[in-house]
Amino acid sequence: MAAEPKPRLNLALTPEIDKYISESAEAIGIARSAFVLMCINQYRQNERNYDMMSMVPMLNQLVASENMKKEETTDGQN
């Protein structure tokens, strides 16, 4: 049973980016393609983190609203 071929992508790189990829990949001892995939995966993780951080103000408002409700309930019982 033959392995399914992986999708391939050809990239047009500026000399500066090409040099950066080559030097960085060599410095950590991995292939250039593995370095590019590592960078993309890190970018995706950062996107998820940013999405979560974007929700912080909304969560703070929700917590403040819930705290106000609790205080009103407590004040009404006294």
Decide: helix, strand or coil at residue 6.
Answer: coil
Q: With bands split at pLDDT 50, 70 and 90, how would you rate the model's confidence at 76? A: low
Pseudo-torsion of CA 26, 31, 36, 42, nearest 10°? -80
Region 3-20: mean pLDDT is: 92
Predicted local distance difference test score (pLDDT) of residue 31: 97
Q: Name 32's Cβ contacts closer than 8 Å, sequence gap at least 6.
A: 21, 22, 25
User: What is the tens place of the pLDDT at every residue in 13-72?
Assistant: 999 999 999 999 999 999 999 999 999 999 999 888 888 888 888 888 888 888 887 777
More confident: 2 or 78: 2
